[in-house]
Chain A
Amino acid sequence: MDQQTNSHAVAQHRTAVERKSDRELAVTRMFDAPPRMVFKAWSQPDLFRRWWMPKSVTGVSILSCDMDVRTGGKYRLEFGAGGDTMAFYGKYLDVVPNERIVWTNEEGEEGEEGAVTTVTFEERDGKTLLTFHELYPSKEALEEAMMGSAAGLPEQLDQLEELLSGRA
């Protein structure tokens, strides 16, 4: 086998998450198929919506999925969870078929800068090393996402909600 920095995690097909810097997070994983197939499953909306939010884990279902995966194209995803609706949207800054997709994650508030996500598909002996990299506009924005993540800290959110409703 070839020498790779994260060969241990990769050999086990394990999903690895690393905080690269104050503003960056990276997720890596090996896939048992060439990059063009992984790219296809990522760039076609009918395929993408089948895996992006596995309902068994997230309890979230995809209501709509519009993706125009080419440089300058836009996307909008809507999710439903327990009567609430969430929307994710942005545009593709750079798309190189079978190699790379770069997109923005726009904030709800007008003109506010969000994170930029880059996913790369690298060939490794007929398989694909996938890297999902998020760059936040600031250290504070990354921390806010970490602190505020509903998936990450539900108990803490419950406590804060209680706290806030008491203050309001």
Chain B
Amino acid sequence: MVQYLSPSLDLSFAALSDATRRGIIDHLGRADASITSLAEKFHMTLTGMKKHVAVLERAGLVISEKVGRVRTCKLGQRGLEAEAKWIEAHRKLFEARFEALDEVILEVKQEEEDGSANE
């Protein structure tokens, strides 16, 4: 959608464009899962999966809890709220845009009225 020329933003995009990590979030959106079952589902080693989950945990997207010998992962508050927040941010941006657009439209209207009054 947007070509960001800022290197720091590119890095952030890179983090979330990781297919496995996106897949984990998508999967946890439907059901909680253990690290073992995630590793199986995404065909990777336990160690590999632990690393991905750790990245997501540090970003607040996923939380995990160890009960007995099993570590269960679920969506973190950020993961759950991400969509709602984004939609609200999107709405605010458009609201500001459209308020500015109202002003421009008012001018267009005024010009047209002045134009026809002078005819």
Instruction: Name A residues whose Cβ lies closer than 8 Å to a Cβ of B.
Output: 15-17, 19, 25, 27, 29, 31-33, 37-38, 40-42, 47, 50-54, 56-58, 84-89, 105-108, 114-115, 130, 132, 136, 140, 143-153, 156-157, 159-161, 163-165, 167
Residues of chain A within 8 A of B58, CB atoms compared: 159, 163
Within 8 A of A (CB), among B20-56: 22, 55
Residues of chain A within 8 A of B103, CB atoms compared: 50-51
> Secondary structure at chain A's binding surface: helix, strand, loop or mixed?
mixed
Residues of chain B within 8 A of A25, CB atoms compared: 90
Q: Is B116 an interface residue (CB 8 A)?
A: no
Residues of chain B within 8 A of A16, CB atoms compared: 91
* B contacts with A, residue count (CB < 8 A): 48
Please report the C-alpha to C-alpha distance between residue A38 and residue B103 in the assembled complex, in whole angstroms: 11
Cβ–Cβ contact B22 & A140, under 8 A? yes
Instruction: Name B residues whose Cβ lies closer than 8 Å to a Cβ of A.
Output: 1-6, 8-9, 11-17, 22, 55, 58-61, 78, 82-83, 85-87, 89-106, 108-109, 112
Q: List 13 A-B contacts (CB under 8 A).
A: A37-B109, A42-B101, A58-B96, A86-B2, A86-B3, A105-B1, A105-B2, A107-B1, A144-B22, A146-B86, A150-B4, A151-B93, A160-B16
Residues of chain A within 8 A of B89, CB atoms compared: 149, 151-153
Please report the C-alpha to C-alpha distance between residue A31 and residue B113 in the assembled complex, in whole angstroms: 18
Residues of chain B within 8 A of A51, CB atoms compared: 97-98, 100-101, 103-104
Q: Which residue of B lies closest to A154 (CB)?
A: B89
Cβ–Cβ contact B3 & A87, under 8 A? yes
When the two chains form the complex, which single residue of A107, A132, A148, A160 contacts B59, counting CB atoms closer than 8 Å?
Answer: A160
Cβ–Cβ contact B97 & A52, under 8 A? yes
Nearest chain A CB to B56 CB, angstrom units: 10
Q: Which residue of A lies closest to B9 (CB)?
A: A150
Nearest chain B CB to A39 CB, angstrom units: 10
Cβ–Cβ contact A33 & B109, under 8 A? yes
Nearest chain A CB to B103 CB, angstrom units: 7
Cβ–Cβ contact B105 & A156, under 8 A? no
Please report the C-alpha to C-alpha distance between residue A165 and residue B15 in the assembled complex, in whole angstroms: 11
Please report the C-alpha to C-alpha distance between residue A35 and residue B87 in the assembled complex, in whole angstroms: 26
Please report the C-alpha to C-alpha distance between residue A24 and residue B97 in the assembled complex, in whole angstroms: 20
Please report the C-alpha to C-alpha distance between residue A47 and residue B96 in the assembled complex, in whole angstroms: 16
Please report the C-alpha to C-alpha distance between residue A54 and residue B14 in the assembled complex, in whole angstroms: 28
When the two chains form the complex, which single residue of A136, A143, A157 contacts B9, counting CB atoms closer than 8 Å?
Answer: A157
Cβ–Cβ contact B5 & A33, under 8 A? no
When the two chains form the complex, which single residue of A27, A37, A57, A114 contacts B105, counting CB atoms closer than 8 Å?
Answer: A37
- Which A-B residue pairs are the 10 nearest by beta carbons? A51-B100, A108-B3, A152-B86, A57-B96, A84-B6, A152-B89, A15-B95, A17-B91, A51-B101, A146-B86
